[in-house]
Structure 1
Amino acid sequence: MRKPLRRLRAVLAAGAAASLALTAAACGDSGESDADLSFWHIQNLDPGMSTWQEFADGFAEENDITIDVQAIENQAFKDRMGTAAQSGDVPDIFHTWGGGVLAQQVEAGLVKDLTGKLDCIDQINPIALEAYTIDGKLYGMPFDAGVVGFWYNIDLFDAAGVTEPPATWDEFLVAVEKLKDSGVAPIALGGADQWPGHYYWTYLAMRTVGLDGLEAAAAAGDFSGEGFVQAGDMVAELAAMEPFQEGFESAGYGEADGQSAVMGEGAAAMELMGQWAPQAARDNSGTEGPENLGFFPFPTVEGGAGVSTEWLGGGNGYAVAADAPDEALDFLCYFMEPENYAKAITDASLTPVAVDVASVAPELNQDTQKVVDSLATATGTQLYLDQAYPPAIGGTINEATEGLILGELTSQDFIDMVNEAWAAEK
């Protein structure tokens, strides 16, 4: 999943951030509707949700068809897609992050090969297509890309005497202690959803063993190295400081009392989250969010192989079911029509993956610009592990990280669980 610097800069030319609002789940099943097309997406808060519905309604009217649209919260979407994939009955169009999850869906014969079938594909930067390309064939259409970093409330940092973003892990722990002493929750976390927590172990592994070490471990299916144990120890060390908001264990990411809402309300000083975080914090809290919001990369670890210019991240796109009608392909290109895509970018705070960025986004918002500026010196990327790896592996990493955070697992327990999951996949 790594990209050399020139490729990362090419991605930046197309745009490098998105804002996905993630809360209430929709009901239904891909096989329950009599509609001509079924469409599952995770843009489930307004204004994005209404805009996506508007696109579906417009396309349906133009083509005299019906579309069953399901706007689903992130974790609920992953759960439902897992069930749908196991049953062999997936929606005609569905959200995808690419990577190992998409590859497994392709291997199961569930996803249509889009190679040469999308008239609009030339509008999309080729670099953005890489996460959706498997064995030289295209299986998804991206609509944004970005990275995970620490979004922080500058005013709360200043009040606690943290005048500069921490650059090293030791500095980060000192900052956490200062923030806690000031009376604010240092970190917002949606512990119940698991995936937000996995960012911590992933990044610490990236900083201890580096991207090459992570890639080698995945290739071997063996995470027994000292650096991976160290990453688990550091997650446990952080958790022992009790840095998260009260009740984080039962809070989701996008709930009323969840991670993004806590951040939006100014009740926590920072969160480790993707490019969509500022908009999600505003939407989920019903506020304007922190007035003074900053962004910094995950800290480095002394003696580690990783550097701060290596980022965890990924894109967002749509895949099409293997047996979906041609209208599903037409809808993807309808979504990418300049007028529609420009509206999507504005209403959902997306950063475009278009070749001609100026035609759809002549000016980026300040939060997106922070991410783009941070990526200007990027030297490598890693797709979210719960998407890069097969679902059973990614799910195990999420679950095991939760165990580390709650003090229910040791670092060696974590490694054993992940290695056992890899062994079962072979």
Structure 2
Amino acid sequence: MRKPQSRARAVLAAGAAAAVAFTATACGDSGESTADLTWWHIQNEDPMKTTWAEMADEWAAEADLTVEVEPIANEAFKERLATSAQSGTLPDLYQTWGGGVLAEQVEAGLVRDITDDVDCLDKVNPITLEAYTIDDRLYAVPFDQGVVGFWYNMDLFAEAGIDTPPATWDEFLGAVEQLKAAGITPIALGGADQWPTHYYWTYLVMRTLGLDGLEAAAEAGDFSDPGFTEAGQKLADLAALEPFQEGFESATYDQADGQAALMGEGGAAMELMGQWAPQAQRDNSGTDGPGDALSFFPFPAIEGGAGTTTEFLGGGGGFAAGAESPDEVVDFMCFLLEEDNQAQVVKDGNMSTVAADPAAVVPDMNNEQQLVVDAMATATGTQLYLDQAYPPSIGSTVNEASEGLVLGEISPEDFVAMVNEAWAAEK
């Protein structure tokens, strides 16, 4: 089986909370629509929920078509898409993070090849297309890009006597202990969702082995290098400090009592999350979030490790088309990439893919977006989230093992054995 890129330069989209359906309908003189499109995405919180619905309305009116828009919560979306794929069909347009999940759908013949059909990519940053390119063919268009790092509350850091964000792993562990000593929860984590936890293990591997080492291991389907066990031990050491909020193991990322809400309420000093985090903090807490106190720092370096702090975990959101989708879906994809629409996407908290510099689309982007842009400007390499970069069976194993390691249910050696077994089954 072909192994998809383990090292992608594309940079996700956010998760949210409940499935709601909208229908954008426009009829011509005949009173009948000439085609129907179904569109599944995970922006089911405003402002993006309304933004996508309004764009569907506008395009449908111009095209004289019908668009059924379904915003679906992140985890429910993944389950529903997997079920749909197993049945042999996918929606006309649907959210994708690319990588191995998309590659498996392509291999099953479920995705439209848009390489020769899409003629609106001249202004798109080529880097953002890599996660959606399989065997030199394009299967999705991007709408968001960014990187994962630590979003932190500067006021809480100051309260604990921490003047600058930690630059090394040892400094990071020291900051955790300092925050705890000050009676502050160091880290918010939605442990029940698993994927937020896998960010920690992935970054520790990236800092220990570097991107080249991780890529080589993925290509070989073998994580036996001692660096993987070392990374697991470092995550176990962090967990032993009990840095997460009480009940983190049952908390999700995007619910009222979850990871994002806790950060928004000022209940924890930091979270490791992507570019969507500030808006998710506001959405899920029902507050304005930390406001000007919110800032960002890259995952710390590991002394003696092969990786650098300019190598980022990251990804973006894109839209792919089901193999049976009508031809009009390509025009709709291009409509979503028009500069006015991308400008609105940026205003709503996402990062534009239309220009290499998102500031060219929205010159007055907010400070949170500028922090991500500045981090991306320093990037010497990026790694797509492993639960998307790898085949689904491998990605889900990494997620499960990350949870087990943090809960103390498995050892770093068990982690490696689980992933190697999954790779062996995949070959």
SS at match of 1:339: helix
**Amino acid paired to 1:363:** D
Query: Shift of the alpha carbon at 1:411?
Result: 0.8
- Offset of 1:366 from its aligned partner? 0.7
Q: Is the 8 A contact 1:169 1:300 kept in 2?
A: yes
Classify the secondary structure of the residue corresponding to 1:115. Answer: coil
SS of match in other structure, 1:144: coil
- Paired residues for 1:18-417 under 5 Å: 20-26=13-19, 36-291=36-291, 292-354=293-355, 357=358, 360-417=361-418
Cα contact 1:351–1:364 (8 A) shared by 2? no
**Which string of whole-angstrom CA distances, capped at 9 and with x for unpartnered residues, describes residues 291-322 of structure 1?**
31111111111221111111110121100011
Residues 145 and 353, structure 1, Cα contact 8 Å, conserved in 2: no
1:338 is matched by which residue type in structure 2?
A: E
* Runs of 4+ more than 4 Å apart: 1-4, 355-359
Shift of 1:347: 2.0
- Superposition deviation, residue 337 in structure 1: 2.1
Counterpart AA for 1:354: A
SS in 2 for 1:189: coil
- Residue by residue over 1:255-312, the C-alpha shift from the partner in whole angstroms, topping out at 9 and shown as x without a partner, is 0011100000000000000011111111111111113111111111122111111111
Give the Cα–Cα distance (whole angstroms) in 2 for the partners of residues 343 and 380 of structure 1. 28
DSSP-derived class of the 2:148 partner: strand
Quick one: distance in 1 between partners of 2:203 and 2:141? Answer: 27
Moved more, 332-341 or 303-312: 332-341
Q: Secondary structure at the match of 1:121?
A: coil
* SS of residue matched to 1:205: helix
User: How far did 1:348 drift?
Assistant: 3.5
Q: CA deviation at 1:21?
A: 4.5
Compute the displacement of 1:359 (Å).
Answer: 5.9
Q: Which moved more, 1:257-266 or 1:60-69?
A: 60-69
Give, in whole Å, the separation in 2 of the partners of 1:321 and 1:43. Answer: 19
Q: Distance in 1 between matches of 2:332 and 2:79?
A: 25
Contact kept in structure 1, 2:209 and 2:307, CA below 8 Å: yes
- Structure 1 residue 116 displacement after superposition: 2.1
Worse-superposed segment, 127-136 or 391-400: 127-136
| Unpaired stretches in structure 1, ≥5 consecutive residues | 29-33
Deviations 1:131-159 (A, max 9, x none): 11111111110112111000000000010
The alignment-based identity, stated in percent, is 65
Structure 2 residue matching 1:308: 3-state secondary structure: coil
Partner SS, residue 186 of structure 1: coil
Question: What is the DSSP-based 3-state SS (H/G/I as helix, E as strand, rest coil) of the residue aligned with 2:348?
Answer: helix
For 1:202 and 1:344, the matched residues in 2 are separated by 29
**Residue 226 of structure 2 aligns to which amino acid in structure 1?**
E
CA contact (8 A) 1:118 1:329 kept: yes
Residue matched to 2:25: none
The answer to whether residue 423 in structure 2 is matched with residue 422 in structure 1 is yes
Matched residue SS, 2:146: strand
How much has 1:171 moved relative to structure 2?
0.7
What is the deviation of 1:3? 7.9
Moved more, 64-73 or 246-255: 64-73
Amino acid at match of 1:321: G
The whole-number CA distance in structure 2 between the counterparts of 1:355 and 1:179 is 38
Q: Distance in 1 between matches of 2:64 and 2:377?
A: 45
Deviates more, 1:345-354 or 1:361-370: 345-354
- What does the per-residue CA deviation read over 1:306-363, in whole Å, with 9 as the maximum and x for residues that have no partner? 1111111012110001110012111111112222222222123333433685663223
